[in-house]
Amino acid sequence: MKLLCSQASPYARCVRSLIHYLGIKDIEEVTVNPFENTAELLDANPLGQIPCLITNDGIPLFDSEVIMRYLDAELGEQQMFGAHRDNWVLQGHFSMIKGLIDSAVKLRQEQMREEEGVRSAFWTSRFEQALLRGLMQMEHLSVITQATIQAPQLALICLLDYVDFRHPELDWRKVAPATALWFSEMRNLPAFIETRPQ
């Protein structure tokens, strides 16, 4: 199998961390810059987005959540999203964290606008506030007290590393000290050290 991905993408990092965490061996990671619109990426994913997994049967799979669910179901033990279809609390936590990754990426896109003048103070503040609200709520959720790693914990570590990497000015530790303490330990697990963006 082939994973079209990049080091910096937090969505690709979720998939790459899951691969390392589950000890999956037969996936070739191919670095792709989505903005170069390579034929390989556009043929597999007309959205032009990474990550995109091409299975051994040639089936292109995206987005990151679908790839994670596929790998967990086919090559894992259905441990990452829970074995029970009624595990809605976990699903809700995962959706929120995935939404926070969206906010962090949109904040980055806003900051990357070439001319300062076209950056929107409204959207910048809206994405920052969503991130801070979500992390404040995280303080009260079982995501940071559960001993095992499942999809929400894995995505949260990828989110927080990305926020520190791209948005060091965002003082999230002040509003989420328990999450910060949890993160300081979890981010050193091998699956996250091996996949951390430089």
Ligand X SMILES: N[C@@H](CCC(=O)N[C@@H](CS)C(=O)NCC(=O)O)C(=O)O
Contact region for ligand X (CB under 6 A) — 23-31, 49-57, 87-95, 180-188?
A: 49-57
d(CA 33, CA 148): 33
Please name every residue paired with 3 in a beta bridge, in sequence order, or none if there are none.
29, 53
CA angle 32, 38, 43 (to 5 degrees): 105
Of 49 and 137, nearer to ligand X (C-beta) is 49
Q: Is 105 in the site for ligand X (CB under 6 A)?
A: yes
Specify the residue, 62 or 182, whose C-beta has the smaller distance to ligand X.
62
Candidate list 49, 91, 124, 146; residue touching ligand X; CB under 6 A? 49
CB of 91 or CB of 175, closer to ligand X: 91
Q: Tell me the closest approach of the beta carbon of residue 122 to ligand X, in angstroms.
A: 21
- Rule CB under 6 A: choose which of 18, 27, 50, 107 binds ligand X: 50
Alpha-carbon span 186 to 173, nearest angstrom? 15
Give the bridge partners for 2, in sequence order: 28, 54
- Residue 114, classified by CB atoms within 10 Å of its CB into exposed (0-12), middle (13-18) or buried (19+), is exposed
Report the relative pairing of strands 52-54 and 28-31 from DSSP bridges.
unpaired
Pairing of strands 52-54, 60-61: antiparallel
Shortest spacing between CB 34 and ligand X, in angstroms: 4
**Within positions 54 to 83, which residues make up the interface with ligand X, using CB under 6 A?**
62-65
- In the bound complex, what is the minimum distance in angstroms from residue 54's beta carbon to ligand X? 14
Binding residues (CB under 6 A) for ligand X: these are: 9, 11, 34, 48-51, 62-65, 105
